[in-house]
């Protein structure tokens, strides 16, 4: 059934459809409504799950680790400072190979205190071994939560679904709500090969010496690599069943494009409107949304961008002392394979609005090629 | 695409008003989007929220700077906030007021409709005398003035979005729909 709902509730409905058994989370702006609706669903029986209320995000993810290790399908939600407080356990979930799914509402990190969107919170977790998927609409958020459980439980790695603060979390739009009965054949109950079970005792999280640890890290990377095909297959199966697919990347009007803007999150959506407006004026421009950030879609990015004359990457984040993070990743995907010039643009930090005019300004700057720094161009900074 | 900006004060229900509007248009098969101007809302402080309506997919995910129409829940805002900034010429301004807005100057460039949403809200027990909740009434008035969306869809959206006193909220919207005044040009 189609309803007009907020992005945070799209997360909750995705969790409901996925027949999750344990939820532990701590409220934080701007993700609070995710947890509110889920606790309501648990209380009224709409969702047959145990809701574990805790005193911090560190405990929330720790509770998820325990529940997942005991064989339950497990979910948590957080944002910004909360995600950072989880950091130790973020690593733990990966090492323990637990298919936990988390939604993170992208919110800038303090100080100064901010509740508005940028990507530095989730991107600061990029080397932990969580898969990361960035969404641009409430529908995609709901559907990706469901896909995430299937992917996580296939490769035995946790998955983070990322959505922009306010521009998705608090934006109401039409979502075709998935019902658990319809999802069940797509996502059968979670049956792990190994779990904490007093009737069948095993050792978990034990000491691994230099003779074993190395191989366990290799296996995490192997699982990450294997996840590429799993993500693709899961998305395809989802599309066959529900009529909606999202891809690992989403190229838009790139086939004959001289210029391509690389985007993520809600900026990807606004950029498509700009692409159409500029195309109408005869400018050969396209856009490429990077949906899956971990594992990074090297092949897909290379295939689309190597045909362009100029590439601009829009980053709503900054790696201090380096450049925009998507820019780094795109460059590393292209290095040694193609000579297409790539330019980085930083904008929208701390929720600064990325309007069609801002994006158009970036596109025009890229095309003109004048007053362009090679790696990092701050767009709209008032200093 | 139709872009609507709603001005109110924290506690009046401006954000819910923009959501009800979106839901009403959705019931008439439009694509919709509604969201608040993101801030740390306080009771009584000026707040802004937005609604986008389109026949096709809405891709713009940013605030609205050049709205087609305005909804104003508190007439005092007209004196304290530049409510018409960016408003397109000829756009509707639907204002909650019992005053005659004929001499306000707004009618020169815009179409203005007024409704005494405070009195209507109080009549149906919505909010208190010092803080009436006028969002459902003003949405009814918006439908009546602009004719962009039907009152039936508005009433259904209220039933969906308002958690309490659904009946009274629907009656308030219907009364506002019928009692609004289109302010004549000077």
Residues of chain B contacting A272 with CB distance shorter than 8 Å: 59
> Are A16 and A106 within one domain?
yes
The residue from A180, A215, A242 where one domain ends is: A242
Q: Which helix (H) or strand (E) holds A175?
A: strand A172-176
The residue from A242, A262, A283 where one domain ends is: A242
Q: What is the pLDDT of residue B186?
A: 67
CB contact under 8 A, B38 and A174: no
Print pLDDT tens along chain B (186 aa): 999 999 999 988 999 999 999 999 999 999 999 999 977 678 889 999 999 999 999 999 999 999 999 999 999 999 999 999 999 999 999 999 999 998 888 999 999 999 999 999 999 999 999 999 999 999 999 999 999 999 999 999 999 999 899 999 999 999 999 999 999 886
Chain A to chain B Cβ contacts (< 8 Å)? 66
Total domains in chain B come to 1
Residue A336, Cβ neighbours under 10 Å: how many?
A: 6
3-class DSSP state of A163? strand
Residue of A nearest to B53 (CA): A173
Q: Is residue A383 part of a domain?
A: no
> Are A104 and A200 within one domain?
yes
Residues of chain A contacting B160 with CB distance shorter than 8 Å: 3
Task: Please spell the DSSP secondary structure of chain B, one letter per residue.
Answer: -EEEEEEEETTS-HHHHHHHHHHHHHHTT-EEEEEE--S---TTSEEEEEEEEESS-----S--SS-SEEEES-TTHHHHS-TTTTPPTT-EEEEE-SS-GGGSSGGGTSEEEEE-HHHHHHHTT-B-SSSB--HHHHHHHHHHHH-SS-HHHHHHHHHHH--S-HHHHHHHHHHHHHH-EEPPP-
Q: What CATH number has the domain bearing residue A263?
A: 3.40.50.920
Question: What is chain B's mean pLDDT, rounded?
Answer: 95
What's the gap in Å between the CA of B101 and the closest CA on chain A? 33
Do B99 and B74 meet the contact criterion of CB atoms below 8 Å apart?
Answer: no
The beta-carbon neighbor of B32 closest among A167, A174, A355 is A174
pLDDT digits (tens, 9 = 90+) for A26-60: 999 999 999 999 999 999 999 999 999 999 999 99
> Are A237 and A254 within one domain?
no
Residues of chain B contacting A354 with CB distance shorter than 8 Å: 62
Task: Please spell the DSSP secondary structure of A62-91, one letter per residue.
Answer: HHHHHHHHTT--EEEEEEHHHHHHTHHHHH
Q: Is residue A76 part of a domain?
A: yes
Percent of chain B with pLDDT over 70: 99
CB contact under 8 A, B65 and A173: no
Q: What is the pLDDT of residue A365?
A: 97
> Are A333 and A268 within one domain?
yes
Q: What is the pLDDT of residue B42?
A: 80
The residue from A181, A207, A242 where one domain ends is: A242
Structural domain harbouring A191 = 2-242
Structural domain harbouring B23 = 2-182
Per DSSP, A147 falls in state H
CB contact under 8 A, B26 and A168: no
CB contact under 8 A, B32 and A116: no
> Are A165 and A263 within one domain?
no
> Are A186 and A329 within one domain?
no
Q: What CATH number has the domain bearing residue A197?
A: 3.40.50.970
Q: Is residue A323 part of a domain?
A: yes
Report the complex ipTM: 0.96
What is the bridge-based pairing of β-strands B2-9 and B92-96? Answer: unpaired
Q: What CATH number has the domain bearing residue B89?
A: 3.40.920.10
> Are A69 and A199 within one domain?
yes
CB contact under 8 A, A174 and B31: yes
User: Rounded to 5 degrees, what are φ and ψ at A126?
Assistant: -70, -25
Q: What is the pLDDT of residue A235?
A: 98
A289 half-sphere exposure, CB direction, 13 A CA radius:
22
> Are A268 and A192 within one domain?
no
The beta-carbon neighbor of A353 closest among B32, B58, B62 is B62
CA separation, residue A341 to residues A167, A228, A299, A326, B48 (Å)? 31, 27, 17, 15, 42
Taking the alpha carbons at both ends of chain B, their separation in whole angstroms is 30
> Are A155 and A38 within one domain?
yes
CB within 8 A of B76, min separation 6: which ones?
Answer: none
Q: Is residue A324 part of a domain?
A: yes
Residues of chain A contacting B63 with CB distance shorter than 8 Å: 353, 355
- CA-to-CA distance for B92 and B89, rounded, in angstroms? 9
Q: Which helix (H) or strand (E) holds A6?
A: strand A2-6
Instruction: Tell which of B36, B62, B66 to mutate to test the A interface (max A CBs under 10 Å).
Output: B62
Do B112 and B83 meet the contact criterion of CB atoms below 8 Å apart?
Answer: no
Which residue's structure tokens are 């629907």? B170
List of chain A residues with pLDDT < 50: none
- A8 is written with which tokens? 């945070």
> Are A196 and A287 within one domain?
no
User: Rounded to 5 degrees, what are φ and ψ at B77?
Assistant: -60, -30
CB contact under 8 A, B34 and A171: yes
Total domains in chain A come to 2
3-class DSSP state of A7? helix
Q: What is the pLDDT of residue A12?
A: 98
Angle formed by the axes of helices A7-17 and A32-44, to 10°? 40
- CA-to-CA distance for B76 and A288, rounded, in angstroms? 46
> Are A189 and A265 within one domain?
no
> Are A237 and A258 within one domain?
no
pLDDT digits (tens, 9 = 90+) for B29-43: 999 999 999 776 788
Residues of chain B contacting A167 with CB distance shorter than 8 Å: 35, 61-62
Q: Is residue A372 part of a domain?
A: yes
């Amino acid at each position: 059934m189609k309803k007009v709902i907020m992005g945070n509730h799209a997360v909750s409905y995705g969790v409901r459809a996925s027949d999750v058994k344990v939820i532990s989370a701590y409220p934080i702006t701007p993700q609070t409504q995710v947890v509110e609706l889920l606790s309501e669903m648990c209380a009224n029986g709409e969702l047959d799950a145990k809701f574990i209320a805790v005193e911090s995000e560190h405990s929330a993810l720790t509770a998820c680790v325990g529940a997942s290790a005991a064989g339950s399908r497990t979910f948590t939600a957080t944002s910004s400072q909360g995600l950072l407080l989880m950091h130790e356990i973020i690593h733990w979930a990966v090492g323990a190979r637990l298919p936990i799914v988390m939604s993170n509402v992208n919110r800038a990190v303090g100080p100064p205190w901010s509740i508005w969107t940028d990507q530095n919170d989730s991107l600061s977790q990029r080397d932990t071994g969580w898969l990361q998927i960035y969404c641009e609409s409430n529908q995609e958020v709901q559907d990706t939560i469901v896909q995430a459980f299937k992917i996580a439980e296939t490769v035995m790695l946790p998955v983070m679904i990322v959505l922009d603060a306010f521009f998705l979390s608090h934006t109401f739009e039409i979502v075709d709500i998935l019902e658990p009965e319809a999802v069940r054949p797509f996502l059968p109950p979670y049956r792990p090969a190994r779990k904490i079970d007093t009737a069948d005792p095993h050792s978990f999280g034990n000491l691994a010496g230099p003779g074993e640890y190395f191989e366990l890290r290799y296996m995490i990377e192997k699982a990450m690599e294997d996840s590429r095909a799993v993500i693709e297959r899961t998305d395809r199966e989802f599309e066959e069943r529900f009529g909606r697919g999202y891809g690992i990347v989403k190229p838009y009007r790139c086939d004959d494009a001289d210029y391509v803007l690389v985007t993520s999150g809600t900026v990807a959506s606004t950029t498509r409107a700009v692409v159409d407006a500029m195309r109408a004026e005869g400018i050969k421009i396209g856009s490429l949304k990077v949906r899956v950030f971990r594992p990074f879609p090297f092949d897909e990015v290379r295939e689309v961008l190597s045909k362009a004359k100029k590439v601009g990457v829009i980053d709503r984040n900054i790696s201090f002392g380096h450049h925009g993070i998507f820019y780094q990743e795109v460059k590393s995907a292209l290095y040694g394979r193609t000579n297409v010039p790539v330019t980085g643009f930083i904008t929208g930090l701390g929720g600064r609005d990325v309007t069609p005019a801002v994006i158009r300004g970036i596109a025009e700057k890229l095309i003109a090629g004048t007053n362009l720094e090679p790696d990092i161009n701050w767009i709209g900074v008032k200093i | 695409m139709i872009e609507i900006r709603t001005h109110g004060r924290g506690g009046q229900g401006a954000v819910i008003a923009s959501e009800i509007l979106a839901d009403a248009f959705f019931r008439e098969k439009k694509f919709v989007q509604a969201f608040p101007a993101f801030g740390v809302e306080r009771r009584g402080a000026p707040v802004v929220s937005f609604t986008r309506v389109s026949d096709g997919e809405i891709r713009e995910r940013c605030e609205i700077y050049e709205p087609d129409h305005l909804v104003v829940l508190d007439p005092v805002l007209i004196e304290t906030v530049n409510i018409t900034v960016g408003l397109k010429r000829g756009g509707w301004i639907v204002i909650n007021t019992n005053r005659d807005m004929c001499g306000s100057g707004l009618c020169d460039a815009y179409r203005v409709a007024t409704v005494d949403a405070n009195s209507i809200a109080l009549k149906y027990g919505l909010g208190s005398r010092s803080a009436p909740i006028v969002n459902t009434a003003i949405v009814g008035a918006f439908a009546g003035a602009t004719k962009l969306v039907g009152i039936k869809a508005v009433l259904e959206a209220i039933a969906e979005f308002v958690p309490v006193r659904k009946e009274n909220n629907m009656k308030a919207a219907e009364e506002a729909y019928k009692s609004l005044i289109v302010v004549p040009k000077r």
